[in-house]
Structure 1
Amino acid sequence: MRKIFLIFFLSLSFSLIAQTKPFDVLIRSGKIYLQNRQYEKAKEMFSQAVAQRPNDPDANFYLAITLISLGDYLQAASYLLIPIADEEYLKKIQKDENYKLTCWSSLMEAAQSYLSKNLSDSALIYGRAALALDPERPFNYTLLSQIYANLKMYDSLYSLAQNMISKDSLSPQGYSLLGSYYLAKEDYDNALTAFEKSIKNYEKRIFEEKNKLAEILKIKEEKEKVIKRLLNYQSEKKVKEFENYLKDTLKFKSGIEKVAQMILELNSLNQEYTQNLLRVGLIQMQKKKEKEAIITFKKLFSEDEKNYDALFYLGVNYYNLSLYDSCRITLENLLSFVIKKPNDEELKKIKELIGDTTLNFLELPPTFSPYSFYLLKDNFLSLFSPERLENVYMVLGGAYAQLAKIENKIAYYDSAIKAFEKILLINPKNLDAYQNLAVVYRDKGDKETARKYLEMKMKLEKERK
């Protein structure tokens, strides 16, 4: 019996050894599968290779690339940390523009994912790796400034800013980081100065990059229009449309990858530029410089027509300056962008998705994209979250109420009431909405309804206690 068991054990051991492929064989096999786009097989080979040698940069790198090919950017990022920490291997990645961009995107996605979950320590690991991989990308510094501020690592933020400015006195990223440092310290004067320098330098850099792009594409007339279209294709990830526009419309056949890279970099510059315009506008509001803030937010919206924060803050500044009609027009314009009314067929499909609640955040079908929020009673979809919509309707209702008193128009009281009622649709426990409804009905002459809303407010206040 013992002899039989021994033979079985030896046989099993031999079988296990035979199933374990040598490391070099796994790497070679994985590369072949990867080249042939057999990603699941490649993943299997590289996973076994990493299991054998967890700290091998080659195995980790190719497993990461395979995972990216499968669309798993987040998991891929964890395997990129080892090859990027290896100085020689990092140089190898940086020499290949496609690998560099792909890996940077993976690391950025991981950093942003952790940041959105308030895991700034983890976000910092991936943010620093992305910076090491491609220090020229402006968004690295935007992200790191936010992470450093969250972690209260103000010295790191300041050192990074000064290091960049010492290397390049016109570094827009350097002044952007410096502004973020002063902003975190609530030093608004120095923050404003730094951000304004950053904006000026970004404008110069963007102008230069656009001229380089126009020269490569051999376009002189309608330069801004062409570049804007390419930027839109890139931001919306319309790869085929991007390529077809270059080939068919612009008759640009070779060097498409280089143009795509330049457009991506230009988009990063634009994002940081507009972000700094927003920061400047908010600081101007903080310093009660409403007229200057209006100029800034107008400029921001002209640069980025999808920046709805610009319209909201523009409306708020108009309100603060008692320019109520301008406020009303601006916020109504904002709502026309962010609100979508479904037709009957769309409404039926939506109702099939939701339960019997006032408000639901939904994974909507593509036909409703990018609208996210659905209000059951009033049947509309919104780009804004419920909290942001509350703020819009609060200011809009206030503007209508003020106009009603100034111009003595009953219709404006009704518009104010509709705006405040929208708030209660979104949030039935918003005390300010009840208070404002009571005031508007009182001013309109309906004291009974005004009393009703005051009683509802007092009831809610008691419940909170």
Structure 2
Amino acid sequence: MRKTWWIVILLVGIIGCPSNPTLTAIKIYRVQYYENHDQHILEKWKNLAEKETKTNPTNCLGWFFLGEAYINLGEVLSKPDTMLKGAMLVKKGFDIDSLKVLKELSVNQEGYWSVFKNVTDRLIQRGEYNTAKEFLHIAIKILPTRAENYTMAGEIALEDGDTTKALTSYRKAIDLDPKNANAYADIGSIFSNRGTVDSSKHYFSKAKDLMSGNLIRLIEMIVPDRDVNETRDPVIKASIFLEDKKEAEAKKVLGEVGIGDLEPKKRLLNNLTTLRYEMGSLLFKIGLDYFKAKDSDNAIQTFKEVLELVPKHTGARFNAGLIEYQLKRYKDAETEFRTLSATKPDDYRTWFYLGAAIAQQKRYRDAIEPFEKAMEINPKNPDIYRNLALIYSKVGEKKKAVEYYKKAQELEKGVK
């Protein structure tokens, strides 16, 4: 008997509806589908289930089987929205009679939990938190001991503004899975926002240790039998290249550590990309804590760690540049903001600080273009005009200096 990624089908009786010929036929098609994975059989199953829901709209199992068919169809067609529709139909059956549907879901708890967990996560990503709550409720009913349930519950509670409930959820996640790095990180964020520095440092540190361990283990899986200190940087670079669809470059750097064939490593490298972003997000939060505490050295070091893992992290790049500017390391600040201007050209602050860093090096004419780009993006910011006025006065263009100075004054007074 074959398997799909999400369910191992078991032959079970139709609960509560032994005399319903349509449900009996659906059951036969289900067994045939899971044995043969024939899409035509799946369509027959779906059509019969649709007929059942129209004929008996209060029959919870009709909705359950229809939802299950759509989940399978979504998998076959690689259409997440079709799977989402299936989960919603299963939920409709659950709302009619949760006990009957839970009995069906218990046939393969892990598979169904995975479906509802993924749907909940997808809804959270979309910002549909109220609907996410409903699906999470079912996921918890199916497998109440999975830590991921409570990590998602924490996210939803935070969106509701209930940090106490969020903390309870995250701590429950840690109780179930003491190596849940994301739960530690999320608790750290809550304490950071509360200004409880010692607690935030504790949880952030724990999360960082766990993620670092996961990172090392994954790198060792990609390049076994080599010192991770030698392989770490090349493997991370390979992951970045692969993310950017630069397979030749990825293959080249892996070749430096004895891996000649990229293809078998792609799945692990993609997993590493996910972990890079998770760790980058965590380190960024830690960096912000240092920044708030005016610990510039640790802040900039942490932001640079983020950029080693996620070179496109615009927040880390901006803050690194800002700290360099505050420390009067204007050349380094220029480098950061110039790099950022290529990846985030629509943020006036990038151009503003690029111009400011250049101007501080007394390269006044070079500073004009960045400030003018900042002005194009945000034409109502008086600080931009004031800086342009100063620069034009420095290069001897008094007329333009006066023009921009007056514009700055008008904007400050609210004159259009």
TM-score by length of 1: 0.65
Contact 2:277 2:310 in 1 (8 A): no
Q: Distance in 2 between matches of 1:184 and 1:129?
A: 31
Which of the residues 88, 104, 109 maps onto 2:122?
109
Secondary structure of 1:22's counterpart equals helix
**CA distance 1:233–1:252, change in 2 (3 Å):** closer
Which is further off, 286-295 or 23-32?
23-32
Which of the residues 84, 91, 96 maps onto 1:77?
84
Contact 1:282 1:293 in 2 (8 A): yes
Secondary structure of 2:294's counterpart equals coil
Q: Distance in 1 between matches of 2:223 and 2:195?
A: 41
**Partner residue in 2 for 1:58:** 65
Q: Distance in 2 between matches of 1:197 and 1:277?
A: 12
Q: Distance in 2 between matches of 1:448 and 1:196?
A: 56
> Following TM superposition, by how much is the alpha carbon of 1:419 offset from its aligned partner in structure 2, in angstroms?
0.9
Query: Counterpart amino acid of 2:70?
Result: L
Which of the residues 401, 413, 417 maps onto 2:364?
413
**Partner residue in 1 for 2:310:** 304
Query: Counterpart amino acid of 1:447?
Result: K
Which of the residues 357, 367, 376 maps onto 1:399?
357
Structure 1 segment 110-259 matched on structure 2, within 5 A: 110-113=123-126, 115=127, 119-126=128-135, 141=151, 145-167=154-176, 169=178, 171-212=180-221, 214=223, 223-224=231-232, 225=234, 229=238, 233=242, 250=261
**CA distance 1:150–1:443, change in 2 (3 Å):** farther
Matched, 1:319 2:325: yes
Q: Distance in 2 between matches of 1:235 and 1:55?
A: 47
**CA distance 1:25–1:463, change in 2 (3 Å):** farther
Contact 1:290 1:320 in 2 (8 A): no
Query: Counterpart amino acid of 2:351?
Result: Y
Secondary structure of 2:60's counterpart equals coil
Query: Counterpart amino acid of 2:38?
Result: N
Contact 1:104 1:133 in 2 (8 A): no
Contact 2:187 2:200 in 1 (8 A): yes
Which of the residues 382, 402, 406 maps onto 1:455?
406
> Following TM superposition, by how much is the alpha carbon of 1:249 offset from its aligned partner in structure 2, in angstroms?
5.0
Instruction: Give me the CA root mean square deviation.
Output: 4.2
Secondary structure of 1:429's counterpart equals coil
Q: Distance in 2 between matches of 1:278 and 1:432?
A: 28
Q: Distance in 2 between matches of 1:32 and 1:70?
A: 15
Q: List gaps (5 residues or longer) in structure 2.
A: 1-19
Secondary structure of 1:322's counterpart equals coil
Q: Distance in 1 between matches of 2:354 and 2:240?
A: 33
**CA distance 1:228–1:291, change in 2 (3 Å):** closer
Contact 1:50 1:60 in 2 (8 A): no
Q: List gaps (5 residues or longer) in structure 1.
A: 1-19, 339-383, 405-411
Q: How many residues align?
A: 370
Query: Counterpart amino acid of 2:324?
Result: Y
Contact 2:120 2:135 in 1 (8 A): yes
**Partner residue in 1 for 2:388:** 437
**Partner residue in 2 for 1:424:** 375
Structure 1 segment 37-48 matched on structure 2, within 5 A: 37=39, 44-48=47-51
Structure 1 segment 364-375 matched on structure 2, within 5 A: none
**CA distance 1:271–1:313, change in 2 (3 Å):** same
Query: Counterpart amino acid of 2:294?
Result: K
Between the aligned residues of both structures, percent identity stands at: 20
Contact 2:117 2:149 in 1 (8 A): no
> Following TM superposition, by how much is the alpha carbon of 1:288 offset from its aligned partner in structure 2, in angstroms?
1.2
Contact 2:73 2:82 in 1 (8 A): no
Query: Counterpart amino acid of 2:323?
Result: N
Q: Distance in 2 between matches of 1:227 and 1:27?
A: 49
Query: Counterpart amino acid of 1:422?
Result: K
> Following TM superposition, by how much is the alpha carbon of 1:121 offset from its aligned partner in structure 2, in angstroms?
2.7
> Following TM superposition, by how much is the alpha carbon of 1:271 offset from its aligned partner in structure 2, in angstroms?
2.7
TM-score by length of 2: 0.72
**Partner residue in 1 for 2:37:** 35
> Following TM superposition, by how much is the alpha carbon of 1:250 offset from its aligned partner in structure 2, in angstroms?
4.1
The CA deviation string for residues 20-55 of structure 1, in whole angstroms up to 9 with x for no partner, is 992443565577499334587765555445554563
Matched, 1:274 2:287: no
**Partner residue in 2 for 1:345:** none
> Following TM superposition, by how much is the alpha carbon of 1:315 offset from its aligned partner in structure 2, in angstroms?
0.4
**CA distance 1:104–1:25, change in 2 (3 Å):** same
Which is further off, 298-307 or 128-137?
128-137
**Partner residue in 1 for 2:335:** 329
Q: Distance in 2 between matches of 1:127 and 1:398?
A: 49
Q: Distance in 2 between matches of 1:235 and 1:174?
A: 29
Contact 1:111 1:126 in 2 (8 A): no
**CA distance 1:415–1:267, change in 2 (3 Å):** same
